[in-house]
Amino acid sequence: MPLLSSEINVLEKVCNKASKIIIRDFGEIEKLQVSKKGPGDFVTKTDKKVEQIIIEELEKARPGFNILAEEGGTAENKSEYTWIIDPIDGTSNFIHGIPHFSISIGLEKKGELIAGMVFDPIKNEMFYAEKGRGAYLNNSRIRVSSRNKIEDSIALTGCPIIDEDNFKIFIQEHEIMLRNFNKVRNLGSAALDLAYVAAGRAEVFWHKKLNYWDIAAGIIIVKEAGGTITDYKGKEFKNINNELLATNSRIDQETTKILSSIAW
């Protein structure tokens, strides 16, 4: 691993430890006890156990940091630092035995993302980045794709909950993106989608109404790989508006024109 800060070393150790639980339980999917958390949104005991391990290890390494975590393990310690944690991003894939999900952990300082890691334990792919130090996959530097034509590009997205108000709009978005891009994929993990844009495996990721823990780590990885993060209109991304568009910085203007053409 390249010489980066101690925060990245901490994240590597935490992810490797937590991933052992994920890998073990993924091999015994039929034994998982699944509870329903909301429409289309499931949580397993594995989620909770993994989050507990992550929080325990982070608190040992960095006592007093704030914590924002998906499964409720939030701690407000009035620190200038905050960990943003998704123990398993892609839980539906995990439950169904689809080997595409990740641990996602971002780190903020005074509200600004300064580091992040997205770890795919099944493929053993660790994407990470620090502000001003670039983005990496395992031991190799990664950069966004150099493709500059949308007709040659791949766009990634996710599917909203069926009864969400924006579902009909999503269908319109999906159709218009299909008409313009080479391929549109729905892989099931927003964190990995962002990491794939950073690694040049896709050129675009777009989605609405994601939780911050789904995307925090991925955002800084994309930025440090040379990508662009905006809302659908090309303006500065703010979590409160819940529109996220990540591109390789070469087709961002064309993509925003496409998404902005939809009648809201």
The mean pLDDT of 4-27, rounded to a whole number, is: 92
- Domain-located, residue 220: yes
Of the three residues 142, 172, 204, the one that is the final residue of a domain is 142
- Residue ranges of alpha helices (H) inside the chain are 6-26, 45-61, 91-95, 167-180, 190-198, 212-224, 252-260
Ranges 64-73, 179-188, 190-199: which has the least confidence: 64-73
Structure tokens at 112: 């600004």
Whether residue 134 sits in one domain with residue 114: yes
Confidence tier at 264 by pLDDT (50, 70, 90):
low
How many residues comprise the chain?
264
Residues spanned by the domain of 93: 6-142
Residues 135 and 255 in one domain: no
pLDDT at 89: 96
Torsion, Cα of 105, 89, 132, 240 (10° steps)? -90
pLDDT tens for each residue of 225-237: 999 999 999 999 9
Report which DSSP code applies to 237. Answer: P
User: How confident is residue 30, by pLDDT bands cut at 50, 70 and 90?
Assistant: low
Summarize pLDDT for 158-182 with one digit per residue, the tens.
Answer: 987 766 667 788 888 999 999 999 9
Burial level of 28, CB count in 10 A (0-12/13-18/19+)? exposed
pLDDT at 209: 85
Please state whether beta strands 102-109 and 112-120 pair in parallel, antiparallel, or not at all (unpaired): antiparallel
Selection from 218, 216, 220, 203 nearest residue 255 by Cα: 203
pLDDT at 37: 66
Of 96, 124, 142, the residue at which a domain comes to its end is 142
Q: pLDDT value at position 76? A: 81
Query: Which has more confidence, 164 or 254?
Result: 254
Domain count, the chain: 2
Is 76 part of a structural domain of the chain? Answer: yes
Question: What is the pLDDT, as a whole number, of residue 163?
Answer: 64
CATH value at residue 24: 3.30.540.10
* 232 and 243 Cβ atoms separated by less than 8 Å: yes
Q: Tally the C-alpha atoms within 13 A of residue 242's C-alpha that lie toward its C-beta.
A: 6
Per-residue pLDDT, averaged over 143-162, amounts to: 92
Whole-model pTM: value is: 0.93
What's 171's domain CATH number? 3.40.190.80
If we measure between CA atoms, which residue out of 186, 195, 246, 159 comes closest to residue 15?
Answer: 195
List the structure tokens of 101. 């999900």
The answer on 52 and 137 residing in a single domain is: yes
Residue 263 has pLDDT above 60, yes or no: no
| pLDDT digits 0-9 by tens, 36-94 | 665 456 678 889 999 999 999 999 999 999 999 988 877 788 899 999 999 999 998 99
Mean of the pLDDT values across residues 121-128?
97
